[in-house]
Amino acid sequence: MALRNISLFINLQKNEKMKNLFSLLMLLACLISFGQNTEENIPLFKTKIKAAVTINDTINLDNFKELAIIPGGHFKKELEKINYFSTIMTEAELNKEIKKAGLDPSKYNLKTREGAKNIFTDYKKFILVFQALSNTDKNIHQIIIIDPRSGEKVFEVEGRSKTNVIGISAGTKYLPQDMNNAMLNELVNYIRANSKTYR
């Protein structure tokens, strides 16, 4: 009888250990799963490739989030999807607002370093976000952020264009959608790393 009781006790302990081990494994699986699916790890734009970040300076982006100016007006929809900047304005829209505010357009000219500084200090805090072609290689597309106070780039990501080889567009260059999305994801990563408010 005593041996049977000991055997039952040992089996109960084994079962308890198995339950604990199973619980621990489940908890670990949940933590790994949670870690892989946090917002910080989920790419906002679908792609399987990565783009090359060439400038990545730390700034407090929250000081600039009220207004993003996109000089050429490109990729406004993508910036709206990122959902960080309160207002996104093209250069033309900014110029209209400058005139409405009764400010001298020659003094508040976005194209000059002094004018950009004046807009930042006298009109509204903003940051420049735009797409461009590299000055050294026209096959390289870039997304750039410039701090208007210094006129310096604080972020730059690059992607290479491809050449059409068939059809009536053969010989023309284009930026593949997956590369454009990869560049946009790096922009999102930059915002996440330099903002305390972005989610």
* Gap between the Cα atoms of 40 and 74, Å rounded: 25
What pLDDT is attached to residue 85? 97
Tokens of residue 191, six digits: 């915002």
pLDDT, tens digit, 9 for 90 and up, residues 147-195: 999 999 999 999 999 888 787 877 788 899 999 999 999 999 999 999 9
Tokens of residue 54, six digits: 């060439």
First to last CA, the chain: 64
Nearest-5° Cα angle at 139, 135 to 145: 50
The reply to whether 173 falls in a domain is yes
The reply to whether 52 falls in a domain is yes
Residues 19 and 50 grouped into a single domain: no
Residues 32 and 71 grouped into a single domain: no
Q: Report the CATH number that the domain containing residue 147 is assigned in CATH.
A: 3.40.50
Task: Give the CA count within 13 Å in the CB-facing half-sphere of 141.
Answer: 20
Residue 161: which domain range? 45-194
The torsion angles phi and psi of 164, rounded to 5 degrees, stand at: -65, 135
The reply to whether 199 falls in a domain is no
Residues 26 and 54 grouped into a single domain: no
What pLDDT is attached to residue 80? 95
Residues 24 and 111 grouped into a single domain: no
* Gap between the Cα atoms of 41 and 37, Å rounded: 6
Q: How many domains does the chain have?
A: 2
Residues 11 and 76 grouped into a single domain: no
- Where are the alpha helices (H) located in 37-137, listed in sequence order? 76-82, 91-100, 113-118
pLDDT, tens digit, 9 for 90 and up, residues 26-81: 555 544 444 444 455 677 899 999 999 999 999 999 999 999 999 887 889 999 99
| 3-state SS assignment for residue 94 | helix
pLDDT, tens digit, 9 for 90 and up, residues 103-126: 998 999 999 999 999 999 999 999
Residues 32 and 117 grouped into a single domain: no
What pLDDT is attached to residue 15? 55
Instruction: Using alpha carbons, list the distances in angstroms from residue 51 to 80, 98, 160.
Output: 21, 36, 9
What pLDDT is attached to residue 192? 96
